[in-house]
Chain A
Amino acid sequence: MRKKYLVIIYSISIFVFFVLYLSLGKNKVYTTQDNIGKKIAEVQLNYFDIDGEFNTKEISNFKFTLLNFWASWCGPCRKEHKYLVELSKNSNLKIVGVNFKDEKKNALKFLNEMGNPFSILTKDPEGKKSVNFGIYGIPETILINNELKILKKYVGPINSKDVKEIEKIINK
């Protein structure tokens, strides 16, 4: 009788310790990767410097779209900007920018200095519309196909590795 209990208790403990051991190696940073595979929300975004609105449904007109959330006050956005400029040369891809909680003056200065990779530039001065895309910090970048499906989501600045990944998908 005692032996049976001992075996049961040992097995439970081994399982618990094994799971705890596995959890040690896990990456604890939370990202909204669950959104991959979902359809992008239908949202009306104001254009950056002209009147009117861009409806995210229009993304279906393009083969691939990269939706990039950025601001002039965000340091990492500066770091990733050259990669966006690089990607903008690819004809399979349209880059739609969302200028996030920014001032127009500073944003324009930023684009003059660093180049403008955006085919379409919109703005979200209060940051509320970005909630529809699951944005919680910037920069964030979402790759969408013409069925409005989210293929990739990058939280934080994209790097050369990400650029290669994106190019591989869009050049197929």
Chain B
Amino acid sequence: MLSNFGITVSIISLLLTTSILYLSYYDLKSSGNNVSKKIYKFAFFQIVFTFLGFITLIVAYVISDFSLINVYENSHTTKPLFYKISGTWGNHEGSLLLWINILVLFSFLFLILNKNKNKNFKLYTLIFQNLLISAFLIFLLTNSNPFSLLYPIPTEGMGLNPILQDPALAIHPPLLYIGFVGSSIYFSIALAALISKVDSKSLALTIKPWVSVSWTFQTLGILVGSIWAYYELGWGGFWFWDPVENSSLMPWFLMTALLHSVLVLERRIGLYSWVIILSILTFTMSVVGTFLVRSGILNSVHTFANDPSRGLFILSFLALMVFSSIFIFFKYAPDDNKNYKIFSKESFILANNWFMIFFLAVVLIGTLYPVFLDTLTGQKISVGPPYYNFILAPFLLPLLFLMTLGPKHKWISSDMIGIFNIALFISVILFIIIFLSIKDSSILMLLILLFSTYLITQTIFDFYEKFKNKNINLSRIISHFGFGMLIFSISLNQIYSVEKSFNARIGDEKNFQNYTIKFNNLETFSKNNFKSVKGYFEIIDNKNTTSQNLTPEIRVYNQPEIITYEASINTRFFSDTYLTMSNISNSDIFNIKFQKKPFMNFIWFSVLLISIGGILQFLRFEKKI
């Protein structure tokens, strides 16, 4: 029943999408100054039917309708309601439906929120966006249908991988998709602007809010993903430079570049073509990421179930998209010809773009190089965190420095502003204090600490100054402050992390550095969907004689049958204590891994600050419009 309904609704959405394409195309030639009322009506029905399809799938999950293969493969009757719902987008087919919903949502919002724009510009945008929508709907219906039937109907589902049953991971995909699928709208806008020859200012004003919205969500999505990895995977890390993580970071770099260069475009009519290239690249990178994640050509921690036909479809779509946008760009791009002066703010913003594109290139090369090497020569190599750290870390220094100085420059031109000021003086003093309290560390790490301290203090000074003048660009200040804090806390986290793994039996006691770890007890119990072995540990900090109790678990889930290692984490303001245990086969010995993770709260909070900057910028734009 639900299967037929879902398929019907999706087909109707596809028909509506093609109708919008047809109507928009004909409306281009009509004489009126406004987009035809009909298109608004069709767009309204398009969003209603697309949402209906998504809700149908959610209902199928909630009532555990196993006549749908997708529900059977990813759900189970005993699963809590919350995870039944989030299970809807926890798999390839369901998440594709979410993709399409976001494409349609952005298409609809664009149509109704830009009442006063040039008609043809709007129509072209609508055409490009609906081309994307129809491609993905065809993909959904022909290759990855979440409503496919299963017969005979099983009485029970296969369940959702327990490590995916986590509140952070439930909201992670929607956030991330609003981020990078949302970038589709400025992809469409950019191409439409080229064809309909829209001027810089209105292009900038049109894409700005969408860029800041998608950037904010992308940032939050990445944050929530990291939080999930930290709490759920049980490895004590929050970023592994894994190909799938990289896929979410690559569009982020481009969005960040765009977020900055749009400011120039708006004020100074420069960079028209560059902003268009960035807009096209952002969505292209999002699709590249999707291809990498879902085609199975990469070896990653976070994999979807793979199927080469999917990869082929996304790849063909990607090729079509890339070739046609390059063609459109070369056919329509105007020549930029505007005035600049060195040391003006543009130069700094261009420098931001230089770094962002460089970071993107490094991550892209690191992710794709092993694939290319394997395909072309058959040699298999791995590229991991050491590569990214080695290449990227030194470039943080100039980046932090530019972030400190850049915003202090005026728009049109300004002379070199004195680098030696009170903020630098204070940060050097702060840095010396930090330096004296750190035992041993690399010079690079120390320099990164110094430069991030400088960025932090300088932004605080900026805030104070601007506050006096009642002219505050809070979004920039908060985001840059957050970024400085982020680099600062990650560096301290790297320097002060403690890790110790050892084997122990019940009753054992382990001493090292300032800690004593007592393995007090072991308990087994079973719950409705898993059996668990729980260890009771007491960790004594001999320095200040405090103790804390931690209880890591080994869980054996039955639906599906999977062993998970549940970390026990005690979060304090400055530092987390992280304990995991695993059994050693054929023995009563356990492998215990103890970690001290300082400044974790600061890391999460800094990223939150960065994204708050995005929200504020969005609000600022809205006020202006």
What is A's interface to B at a CB cutoff of 8 Å?
Answer: 2, 5-6, 9-10, 13, 17, 19-26, 28, 30, 101, 103
Contact = CB atoms under 8 A, between A and B. Distances in A.
B326 A9 contact: yes
Given A22-B375, A26-B374, A10 B323 contact: yes
Given A24-B297, A24-B308, A28-B297, A19 B326 contact: no
B297 A26 contact: yes
Nearest to B298: A28
A163 B317 CA distance: 44
Interface in B316-344: 318-319, 322-323, 326-327, 330
A23 B315 CA distance: 11
A28 to B, nearest CB: 6
B216 to A, nearest CB: 31
Given A13-B322, A28-B296, A103-B586, A23 B330 contact: no
A23 B369 CA distance: 12
Q: Lowest 9 A-B CB distances belong to which pairs? A: A23-B375, A6-B330, A23-B297, A24-B311, A17-B319, A22-B375, A24-B308, A23-B371, A19-B375
Interface of B: 291, 295-297, 299, 308, 311-312, 315, 318-319, 322-323, 326-327, 330, 371-372, 374-376, 380, 585-586
Given A5-B330, A19-B375, A21-B312, 10 more contacts: A13-B319, A13-B323, A17-B319, A19-B376, A20-B291, A20-B371, A21-B315, A22-B375, A24-B297, A24-B315
Given A2-B330, A9-B326, A17-B319, A24 B312 contact: yes
A6 B308 CA distance: 31
Contacts of B376: 19
Contact of A30 (B327, B372, B375, B380): B380
Contacts of B372: 19, 23
**Interface of chain A, helix or strand or loop or mixed?**
helix
Contacts of B375: 19, 22-23, 26
29 contacts: A6-B327, A6-B330, A9-B326, A10-B323, A10-B326, A13-B322, A13-B323, A17-B315, A17-B319, A17-B322, A19-B371, A19-B375, A19-B376, A20-B291, A20-B371, A21-B315, A23-B297, A23-B372, A23-B375, A24-B311, A24-B312, A24-B315, A26-B297, A26-B374, A26-B375, A28-B297, A101-B585, A101-B586, A103-B586
B290 to A, nearest CB: 13
Contacts of B295: 24
A79 B300 CA distance: 30
B330 to A, nearest CB: 5
Contacts of A10: 323, 326
Contacts of A2: 330
Contacts of A26: 297, 374-375
Contacts of B299: 28, 30
**Interface of chain B, helix or strand or loop or mixed?**
helix
Given A26-B374, A26-B375, A101-B585, A20 B297 contact: yes
Nearest to B335: A2
Contacts of B311: 24
A163 B376 CA distance: 31
B244 to A, nearest CB: 15
Contacts of B327: 6
Contacts of B291: 20
Nearest to A29: B299
A89 B323 CA distance: 61
Contacts of A30: 299, 380
A147 B86 CA distance: 59
Contacts of A103: 586
Contacts of B322: 13, 17
Contacts of A6: 326-327, 330
B277 to A, nearest CB: 11
B432 to A, nearest CB: 48
Contacts of A9: 326
B527 to A, nearest CB: 27
Nearest to A102: B586
Contacts of B315: 17, 20-21, 24
Residue among B315, B323, B375, B380 with most chain A CB within 10 A:
B375
B294 to A, nearest CB: 11
A75 to B, nearest CB: 15
A25 B330 contact: no
A25 B585 CA distance: 37
B313 to A, nearest CB: 11
A25 B315 CA distance: 13
A28 B318 CA distance: 22
Contacts of A20: 291, 297, 315, 371
A6 B372 CA distance: 23
A22 B295 CA distance: 12
A28 B370 CA distance: 12
Contacts of A101: 585-586
Nearest to B309: A24
A30 B322 CA distance: 32
Contacts of B374: 23, 26
A17 B296 CA distance: 16
Contacts of A5: 330
Nearest to A2: B330
Contact of A13 (B297, B326, B371, B380): B326
Contacts of A13: 319, 322-323, 326
A28 B292 CA distance: 13
A19 B311 CA distance: 13
Contacts of A25: 308
Nearest to A20: B315
